[in-house]
Amino acid sequence: MRIAVIGGTGKEGRGLARGWAQAGETVIVGSRSLERAQQAAREINAAVGREAASGSTNRGAANAGDIVVLTVPYDAQETTLWDIRDGVRGKVLVTVTVPIDTGNTRRLRVVPGGSAAEEAQTLLGPETHVVAAFQNISHTHLEEAKSIDSDVLVCGDDAEARLDVVRLAALLGLRALDAGPVRNARVVEGLTVVLLEINRRYKSRGAGIRVTWLPDGGNE
Amino acid sequence: MRIAVIGGTGKEGRGLARGWAQAGETVIVGSRSLERAQQAAREINAAVGREAASGSTNRGAANAGDIVVLTVPYDAQETTLWDIRDGVRGKVLVTVTVPIDTGNTRRLRVVPGGSAAEEAQTLLGPETHVVAAFQNISHTHLEEAKSIDSDVLVCGDDAEARLDVVRLAALLGLRALDAGPVRNARVVEGLTVVLLEINRRYKSRGAGIRVTWLPDGGNE
């Protein structure tokens, strides 16, 4: 499977891209700058010891990926989506984006469409299956090569697409839970802001969540 | 400390009231029906083996409580708050309420004020310190007398009031985390709907959350 990571030179994108490369997948790192994308791909290849990653423009990456993961900051989301929207048509687009108030990262930002994911779904139309995921996984944990004590909540309107993303998370050693329609992404995105608040108050680094009381008891 | 539980004859209110009674506090169960309130108080007293609880009207309970916990359904919140607002002035009012779409409990309901807690704060004015908490703790767990594997996220604009509620949670054996301003309640209330969705999909009973990666590692 070819996984395109748009904005893959950022911290979160790079962490995800390297994780999938380590899991044996083919990764295309996308960036506005081809040069920085290629540099990030070289670093990933050096880290995993094989030619798992290549660099491309965002548009080139979206065209080439079987599944496309969007990790750009919220304020760049709309422009980026217009740039890649032909390439993602008919595919699953995973949004990792959280709308953050850049003037005050602790303040919950409410966006016109309810959430970044819902706005992406509206912009791209029903042919593209938008799935929100990975917002609550701090890049600091993706960089550590150990099991990550956080669940991924997966929201999207297409059930099959949600399952695809549950599998993407499993490749990173993460438990992902089907959390229903894309509308629920506003909760999951907002939860990231609440966790940032908790990080600040409790001096934690990358607080996450685990869902408890699932019947399999699988909260390890 | 006298803890008034408004709507305390409902499942969630009754579970909380009994928990605090068990912890040695004095509880006033409030209800629209004095008779049902007194009946619930008798049941709590029988369960804990002492005269810990008394029954009252909602207004009487709010007047008598040092701290007031509102557990009525969202659609009854506004009427109830008008009824008790003189009694809660200058006190901490804890809202457990989640706005649920009664036609479709799986659908995230967005209310005009952003969240039930924010609406309560607006209605009551700044003299009353509204704190949102306990939404994600299923009454099914409150009824079981064992340690509850879920954290409580506490949101409110007054720091001291949030600490009061962290202590209220500790009386129930619950870890509570200061999750910032009342505005964040929209995330915590929404999370309850997402957890209901997860309950349905995974056939779990009362899914909750734990915040992970806190520096004390205290995620037991």
**Which residues in chain A have their CB less than 8 angstroms from residue B198's CB?**
177-180, 211, 214
Contacts of A186 in chain B (CB under 8 A): 108, 190
Which ipTM value was assigned to this complex?
Answer: 0.89
**Is B185 part of any domain?**
yes
CB-based contacts of A140: which residues, under 8 Å, 6+ apart? A205, A206
Give the CA angle between residues B193, B198, B200 to the nearest 5°.
Answer: 95
Residue B217 has pLDDT above 60, yes or no: no
Q: Which residue has the tokens 């996450």?
A: A208
Residue of A nearest to B205 (CA): A213
Centre a 10 Å sphere on the Cβ of residue A179 and count the other Cβ atoms it contains.
Answer: 26
Q: Judge whether residue A109 has pLDDT over 50.
A: yes
pLDDT at A220: 34
Nearest alpha-carbon partner for B118 in B151, B74, B152: B74
Contact B165, B174 (CB under 8 A): no
* Closest residue on chain B to A207 (Cα): B213
At B214, is the pLDDT very low, low, confident or very high (cuts 50, 70, 90)?
A: confident
Does residue B43 sit within a domain? Answer: yes
The range of the structural domain enclosing residue B75 comes to 2-202
Higher-pLDDT residue of B168 and B218 is: B168
Q: Do B183 and A107 touch (CB under 8 A)?
A: yes
Q: Closest Cα partner for B208 from A213, A199, A175, A33? A: A213
- Name the DSSP letter for residue B203: T
What does pLDDT average to over chain A?
93
Work out how many CB contacts closer than 8 A connect A with B.
127
β-bridge pairing B129-132 and A151-156: unpaired
Determine the residue type at B86: D
Look at A198 and B215 and tell me if their CB atoms are within 8 Å.
Answer: no
Task: Considering only the beta carbons, identify the residue of B187, B206, B215 that sits closest to A213.
Answer: B206
Q: What DSSP string describes A157-178?
A: S-HHHHHHHHHHHHHTT-EEEE
Query: How do strand A175-178 and strand A26-31 relate by DSSP bridges?
Result: unpaired
Average model confidence (pLDDT) across chain B: 93
B135 domain-assigned: yes
Q: In degrees rounded to 5, what are phi and psi of residue A8? A: -75, 0
Among A189, A194, A201, A205, most B C-beta atoms within 10 A, so best to mutate, is A194
Domain of B126, CATH number, reads 3.40.50.720
Nearest beta carbon to residue A211 from set B107, B110, B209: B209
Q: Which of A149, A184, A197 sits opposite B194 (nearest CB)?
A: A184
pLDDT for residue B103: 83
B205: chain A residues, CB-CB within 8 Å = 213, 215
Question: Under 8 Å CB-to-CB from B79, ≥6 apart: which residues?
Answer: none
Burial of B152 (0-12, 13-18, 19+ CB in 10 A): buried
Please identify which residue in the block is written with the tokens 């509850």.
B148
Total domains present in chain B: 1
Pairing between β-strand A208-212 and β-strand A175-178 as defined by DSSP bridges: unpaired
Q: Tell me the pLDDT tens digit for each residue of A192-204.
A: 999 999 999 999 8
- What are the residues of chain B with a beta carbon less than 8 Å away from any beta carbon of chain A? 106-108, 110, 114, 138, 141, 149-150, 153, 177-180, 183-184, 186-188, 190-191, 193-195, 197-198, 201-215, 219
Q: Is B6's pLDDT higher than 90?
A: yes
A63-99 core/surface letters (b: 16 or more CB in 10 A; e: else): bbbebbbbbbbbebbeebbebbbebbeebbbbbbbbb
Q: How confident is the model at residue B127 (pLDDT cuts 50, 70, 90)?
A: very high
| Residue from A103, A204, A218 nearest A170 by CA | A218
- Is 90 exceeded by the pLDDT of residue B40? yes
In a domain, A216, yes or no: no
Segment A173-181 mean pLDDT: 95
Distances (CA, A) of B113 to A175, B192, B206: 34, 18, 27
Min Cα–Cα distance to chain B from A216, Å? 9
Write down the residue that tokens 């139309």 correspond to. A125
| Domain membership flag for residue A219 | no
CB contact under 8 A, A212 and B215: no
Strand B151-156 versus strand B129-132 pairing type: antiparallel
A136 compared with A120, residue with greater pLDDT: A120
The answer to whether position B20 is within a domain reads yes
Tokens in use for A217?
């008891």
Q: Where are the beta strands (DSSP E) in chain B?
A: 2-6, 26-31, 53-57, 67-70, 92-95, 129-132, 151-156, 175-178, 208-212
Rg of chain B taking only CA atoms, in angstroms: 16
- Domain for residue A212, yes or no? no
DSSP string, B44-94: HHHHHTSS-EEEEEHHHHHHH-SEEEE-S-HHHHHHHHHHHHHHHTTSEEE
Quick check: is B216 in a domain?
no
pTM of the entire predicted model: 0.92
